[in-house]
C-alpha cells in the first residue's frame, strides 16, 4: 500500500461515510502513560505491533491539534509535532506521514496548534473518509476527548 494513501484530503466517492463505531458512552481514558503518536507506526508507515495489538481498545495518545479543517466539528487531526509551514519554502502544506484522526464525542473548542494535548478514545484502524471534509484517514481515535497535557 502506498504510504501516503491516507493523507489525501480531496473529496471523493465510493467509501463509507458512516462515523466509525459511532458515539461511545463514558470516559475512555486509558490508565497507562500516554502513547507517543510515532509508536503507532513502523518506519515504512505500516501499523506497528502496538497499534495492531490495541485495535478496538481504549488508549491515550499525546500530540498536537492541527488547525481544524471545519468549524464546530467533532473531527480534527492529531500530529506528533506542531504543524509548521514555511510560508515561502512550500507551495502548500503537506500532512506529515504519521498522523491520527480524532473523532470526539461532542464538538470541541479549538486548542492552539502548539499546545500539547492528550487524547483518549478507541483505536480504529482501516480507511475511512470523513463525510464532511473528505479527509481520508487510515487510523483514528473515536468517541474521543482530550485534555491539555
Partner 1 sequence: MKTSALAFAAAMAGTAVAAQDLPQASSDWFTAGQATIEAMLARKANTNTAKNVIVMVADGNGVGTNYATRLFDGQQKGMLGEENVLPYETPDFYTALVKTYNINAQTPDSAPTAGAMNTGVKQRFNLINLSESGIHDDCTTEAGNTLTTFSEIVTDMGKSVGIASTARLTHATPAAVYAKTANRNWEGAVPEGCDNSKDIATQLIDAMEAGTIDFAMGGGGRFFLPEGTEVGQSKGRRTDGVNLIERAEGFGAQFAHDTAGFDALSMDAPVLALFNDSHLEYEADRADDDEPSLADITKKAIEFLSQNENGFYLEVEAGRVDHASHAGNAYRTLTDGVAFAEAVAIADELTNDEDTLIIVTADHEHAIAFNGYCGRGSDILGLCMGVSKMGDKHSNEPLLAADGKPYTVVGFLNGSGSVLREDVNWVGARGDLTQEEATDMDYVQQALVPTSSETHSGEDVAVYAKGPWAHLVDGTLEQNVLFHVMHHAVTAE
User: Which stretches of the chain bind partner 1, using CB under 8 A?
Assistant: 2-4, 36-38, 42-45, 80-89, 91, 94, 97-98, 111-115
3-state secondary structure of 65: strand
CB of 24 to partner 1, least distance (A): 28
Report the residue number, 31 or 44, with the smaller CB distance to partner 1: 44
- Please report, for residues 21, 59, 109, the alpha-carbon distance to residue 27 in angstroms, rounded to integers and kept in the order given: 15, 11, 18
Q: Round to whole Å and give the CA distance between 89 and 146.
A: 33
Find out whether 39 and 80 touch, Cβ atoms under 8 Å.
no
CB of 12 to partner 1, least distance (A): 13
Report the residue number, 25 or 87, with the smaller CB distance to partner 1: 87
Report the residue number, 47 or 103, with the smaller CB distance to partner 1: 47
Cα Dmax for the chain: 45
Amino acid at each position: 500500500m502506498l504510504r501516503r494513501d491516507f493523507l489525501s484530503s480531496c473529496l471523493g466517492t465510493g467509501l463509507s461515510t458512516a462515523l466509525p463505531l459511532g458515539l461511545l458512552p463514558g470516559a475512555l481514558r486509558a490508565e497507562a502513560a500516554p502513547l507517543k503518536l510515532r509508536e503507532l507506526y513502523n518506519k515504512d508507515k505500516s501499523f506497528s505491533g502496538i497499534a495492531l495489538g490495541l485495535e478496538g481498545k481504549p488508549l491515550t495518545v499525546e500530540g498536537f491539534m492541527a488547525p481544524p479543517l471545519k468549524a464546530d466539528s467533532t473531527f480534527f487531526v492529531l500530529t506528533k509535532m506542531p504543524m509548521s509551514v514555511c510560508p515561502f519554502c512550500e507551495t502548500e502544506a503537506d500532512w506529515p506521514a504519521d498522523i491520527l484522526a480524532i473523532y470526539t464525542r461532542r464538538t470541541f473548542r479549538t486548542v492552539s496548534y502548539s499546545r500539547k494535548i492528550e487524547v483518549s478514545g478507541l483505536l480504529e484502524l482501516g480507511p475511512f473518509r470523513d463525510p464532511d471534509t473528505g479527509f481520508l484517514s487510515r487510523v483514528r481515535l473515536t468517541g474521543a476527548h482530550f485534555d491539555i497535557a
